[in-house]
Every structure is written in C-alpha cells, then in structure tokens.
Amino acid sequence: MSQKRNPYAFQIFRSGTSAESRRVSIIAFIYLLVCGLAMIWPIYTIANRVYPIILGMPFSMFWIAFWIVMTFIGLIFLYRYEFGR
C-alpha cells in the first residue's frame, strides 16, 4: 500500500472501502451479471423454445420470468446485507 497511486487512474471503490464490502460488491455484481447474461445471447439460446410450457408460459418466456425473480431475490439479499432489518 506504500507505493503512490496514480491519482488519475480508473477507480471503482472509494478509498477506505473495507475489504469485506469490496468482496460483497464484487459477488453481488457477478451474481446480477449472470442474471442479465442469462436473458441474452448466447446463454438464452438454451432456453429459446416453446416446450415445456411452465406456469402457463412457453419456456422462452418462463426462462426470462425466472431470471427476473432471481434478480429480485439477489437484490433483496444485497439490500438486507447492507441495511440490516
């Protein structure tokens, strides 16, 4: 930590952000990234079919709805972690 940082370098976290909070941010970011990537090419190609019809939706639609719910659940955990009850 002793070497002088370039003050103009790209910087994601504020100085003094704890290691734990950096770790949680990175995990949350990766989790939400997965939720997003699941809805687009190329991952979406595995879900892009009509059957099986689940909860009244063709699989291609159910898949997206499923990842919306996963996004929501992830956000609930993240929020609760940050702000407690």
Least distance in Å: CB of 61 to another protein?
6
Of the candidates 21, 26, 27, 82, which one interacts with another protein according to CB under 8 A? 82
3-state class (DSSP) for residue 9: coil
**Distance separating alpha carbons of residues 47 and 72, to the nearest angstrom:** 20
Q: Which two tokens stand for residue 25?
A: 């941010």
* Chosen residue from 21, 79, 81, 85 binding another protein by CB under 8 A: 79
Residues 47/63, Cβ–Cβ less than 8 Å = yes
Pairwise CA distance, residues 72 & 67, whole Å: 8
One of 4, 12, 19, 20 touching another protein (CB under 8 A)? 12
Binding residues for another protein, rule: CB under 8 A, are 7-12, 14-15, 32, 35-36, 39-42, 44-45, 48-51, 53, 56-58, 60-61, 64-65, 67-69, 71-72, 75-76, 78-79, 82-83
